[in-house]
Amino acid sequence: MTPTSRMTIVPALILGTLIGGAATPAHAENLFKMLFGGGIQQRERERRADEVLRPQAAPAPVVKISAPSYRAYKADPLVSVSFRTLLEAPRSISFEPSLDGGSFVEALQGLDGFELAAEKPVAKAIEAYYAAHEDFIWVSGTSVNTRAVEVLRVLGEAASYGLDPADYAVRPPSPGFDMTDMPARHRDLIRFEMALSARVLRYVRDAFGGRIDPNRISGYYDFPEKPLDLEAVLGTLARTQDVRPYLESRHPQNERYQALRAELEVLRAGRENDIVVDAKLFLKPGGTSPELPKLLQLFSRETDDAFRAEHAAVLSANAATEAYGPELVAVVKAAQAFKGLSADGIIGPRTVSAFAGVSKADRIAKVEVALEQLRWHPSDLGSPRVFINQPAYTATYNEGGEDRLSMRVVVGKVSNQTSFFFDEIEQIDYNPYWGVPQSILVNEMLPRLRQDPGYLDRSGYEITDAKGRRISSSSINWYQYGGKVPYNVRQTPSEANALGELKILFPNKHAIYMHDTPSKSLFQRDARAFSHGCVRLSDPRAMAAAVLGKPVEHVADKIRQGHSTEKVTRKIPVYVAYFTAWPDQSGTVEYFDDVYDRDSRLLKALEATAEVRAPTS
């Protein structure tokens, strides 16, 4: 008997039994369950489950969670300084000329009708200070004093800090005046007094905290306000004759700021680049370009003796060629390696930038932007510290004023930019879990989960509800959620975990941290903006050991032991920074591409501030 005939006979026997009445209904049901029920019931359960998960009505539309946007910068309008309290204060005064030619109180009438515009905090400070101190700071007798002369010099030198001297310009009264018209002289002196105080306070604010509020540019910026008692500043200036050191001390007091100032001075005194190469040059072996001879000339000039000795013959033989032949590939690769670039032999914008640099005007703009951005930071950057410079794609550990460790990093792609802020490192997580952010869950995972509900179960993720209860991914009707998913999703520790072996946490509202990654190949690229915003480290064990102040073997041992957490017991600030001009440890300023186009937005914010400050007449 063949298997096919047996399959035919068995149902027939059962059917005959049922028809013949030999089996009870219950017995017949049991027979059907025994032979067919498993498959039928399984298909029935799948059918019912599918009905549960399939949307009974229209599925909730997926509302993607958007990244922070950039906004047109709005500078605060200036306000009028009110002299009403001073003018209306009750006082007993003789208006007979005093021995020194005049006094503050005698000169007060000169403020009647005087319009002085200033930033709101500056106006409040002036009103409060002079209400409590009815005396000149910048005037002695009938003349501008030496303190004022020195302050005017400092304000006139504002450009050396990347500031605009026009923002602080005050015209002093003429040294000569008509002795018979003392009321006019008093008027000129009191108005000069108030105007200089307003511009000095503006200068101090700008030097101490910057000209703009970076948080208004975008949610990608996150800087705390730097408190400054402007009324106390006037009090200090009134008590000291050493006004220059005091005003200069309001600027950041760190070596990188000073290096940027020195670079700005050199740039302004220097000439434009004598060899200019097309910044958008893209040339592969076998191609041709009239820009190639210029770049080869720079290879000879911008390297060292060892490089020139090794490649002199090839460079000389091809000095005028526009054809990128095979004999030049090794030279290009060696030149790229000399500048720390990926030695792929393809000449692109980063190779051009490394050798030809950018124009003088562009470099000046980058340095001025960098000076402004440093003013948002603490004056003392701290030691030890970790400094991540996104445009350079590097993370550096500095201790005792020395860069002890530097490595390549991957930062956020343009659609998921890494934010610009600073914080403090708190702990290391070994073999970490990865808590999936809502933005990734909604924007990237939800569409797939609607088609494949069990995807997370199979991929090593855990799902919990608001009460912490574990839930199977396949049991959730993902169609009912659109803009927010009410579950916590995390990837368990494994070789495939997105965070790799460890993560270094400095808790912040942007959910950004440093971490390992299984995607090691990306570190070989020159441009490394590929992440969802976090900072991937090329050597995470070395960075973890550095911030812990322990050997790398300690970190390796922790990783071998499985999932755990270790607190960082030292105070270590971390700067998640964005500088397209930044000095290295020796003070040499390096320039980088503006990967997120943030410099141009900052320059527009500075322009908006300058427009508000511009005199109306």
Query: Per residue in 356-377, pLDDT tens?
Result: 877 889 999 999 999 999 999 9
Euclidean distance between CA atoms 33 and 39, whole angstroms: 9
Alpha carbon 161 to its chain centroid, in Å, reads 22
Q: What angle do the packed helices 326-338 and 349-356 form, to 10 degrees?
A: 60
Mean pLDDT of 94-119: 76
For the record, the structure tokens of 360 come out as 């003088």
- 339 by DSSP, 3-state: which? coil
Residue 478 has pLDDT above 50, yes or no: yes
DSSP annotation of 34 reads I
Residue 75 has pLDDT above 90, yes or no: yes
What residue spans in the chain does CATH classification 2.40.440.10 cover?
379-592
Q: Can you name the residues that pair with 531 across neighbouring β-strands?
A: 412
**Is residue 118 classed exposed, middle or buried when 0-12, 13-18 and 19+ CB atoms within 10 A define those classes?**
buried
Residue 21 has pLDDT above 90, yes or no: no
Residue 25 has pLDDT above 90, yes or no: no
> 275-304: string of b/e by CB count within 10 Å (b at 16+)?
eebeeebebeeeeebebbbbbbbbbbebbe
Question: What pLDDT was estimated at residue 41?
Answer: 52
Please give the span between the terminal C-alpha atoms of the chain, in angstroms, as a whole number: 112
Residue 12 has pLDDT above 50, yes or no: no
Residue type, 561: Q
Question: What pLDDT was estimated at residue 547?
Answer: 98
Q: Are 587 and 399 in contact (CB under 8 A)?
A: no
Q: Can you name the residues that pair with 435 across neighbouring β-strands?
A: 490
For the record, the structure tokens of 439 come out as 């933005």
Euclidean distance between CA atoms 390 and 519, whole angstroms: 18
Mean pLDDT of 68-88: 95
For the record, the structure tokens of 110 come out as 């000169």
For the record, the structure tokens of 384 come out as 């030890």
H or E segment to which residue 564 belongs:
strand 564-567
- 117 by DSSP, 3-state: which? strand
**500 versus 54: which is more confidently predicted?**
500
Relative to beta strand 402-412, strand 535-537 is antiparallel
Question: What pLDDT was estimated at residue 32?
Answer: 40
Mean pLDDT of 41-66: 62
CATH 3.30.1330.60 fits 379-592, yes or no: no
Euclidean distance between CA atoms 285 and 194, whole angstroms: 67
Question: What pLDDT was estimated at residue 57?
Answer: 63
For the record, the structure tokens of 512 come out as 């950004």
For the record, the structure tokens of 419 come out as 């934010």
Mean pLDDT of 534-544: 98
Report the percent of the chain where pLDDT is more than 70.
Answer: 88
Instruction: Name the least confident of 113-122, 215-224, 475-484.
Output: 475-484
**260 versus 175: which is more confidently predicted?**
260
**Is residue 521 classed exposed, middle or buried when 0-12, 13-18 and 19+ CB atoms within 10 A define those classes?**
exposed
Backbone angles phi, psi at 254, to 5 degrees: -135, 160
Question: What pLDDT was estimated at residue 342?
Answer: 85
Mean pLDDT of 233-248: 96
Residue 486 has pLDDT above 80, yes or no: yes
Average pLDDT, the chain: 89
Residue 46 has pLDDT above 50, yes or no: no
pLDDT tens digits for range 194-217: 999 999 999 999 999 999 999 999
Report residue 53's pLDDT band, with 50, 70 and 90 as the boundaries.
low
> What is the full DSSP assignment across 189-257?
HHHHHHHHHHHHHHHHHHHHH-SS-GGGTBTTEE-------HHHHHHHHHH-S-HHHHHHTTS--SHHH
Euclidean distance between CA atoms 512 and 528, whole angstroms: 17
DSSP annotation of 488 reads E
Q: What is the pTM of this model?
A: 0.82
Euclidean distance between CA atoms 561 and 350, whole angstroms: 42
Question: What pLDDT was estimated at residue 232?
Answer: 98
Report residue 31's pLDDT band, with 50, 70 and 90 as the boundaries.
very low
Residue type, 527: A
Helix residue ranges per DSSP H, 487-593: 540-548, 552-560
Residue type, 87: L
Residue 608 has pLDDT above 80, yes or no: yes
Residue 39 has pLDDT above 60, yes or no: no
Euclidean distance between CA atoms 117 and 464, whole angstroms: 58
Report residue 126's pLDDT band, with 50, 70 and 90 as the boundaries.
very high
How far is the CA of 28 from the CAs of 5, 32, 285, in angstroms?
22, 6, 80
Mean pLDDT of 91-96: 51
Q: Tell which residue, 102, 371, 88, 130, has the closest CA to residue 234.
A: 130
H or E segment to which residue 577 belongs:
strand 573-577
In the chain, what are the helix, strand and coil shares in percent, each to the nearest 5?
45, 15, 40
pLDDT tens digits for range 337-354: 998 888 899 998 889 888
pLDDT tens digits for range 283-329: 999 999 999 999 999 998 888 889 999 999 999 999 999 999 999 99
Residue 222 has pLDDT above 50, yes or no: yes
Question: What pLDDT was estimated at residue 20?
Answer: 44
Residue 255 has pLDDT above 90, yes or no: yes
Euclidean distance between CA atoms 220 and 331, whole angstroms: 41
Question: What pLDDT was estimated at residue 339?
Answer: 87
Q: Can you name the residues that pair with 565 across neighbouring β-strands?
A: 429
Question: What pLDDT was estimated at residue 4?
Answer: 46
Helix and strand counts by DSSP (H, E) for the chain: 22, 21
> What is the full DSSP assignment across 246-296?
HHHTTS--SHHHHHHHHHHHHHHHSPPPSS---TT--B-TT-B-TTHHHHH
Question: What pLDDT was estimated at residue 10?
Answer: 41
H or E segment to which residue 522 belongs:
none
Q: Are 394 and 411 in contact (CB under 8 A)?
A: no
Q: Is 568 left (phi over 0), alpha (psi -120 to 50) or beta?
A: beta
DSSP annotation of 572 reads -
Question: What pLDDT was estimated at residue 501?
Answer: 97
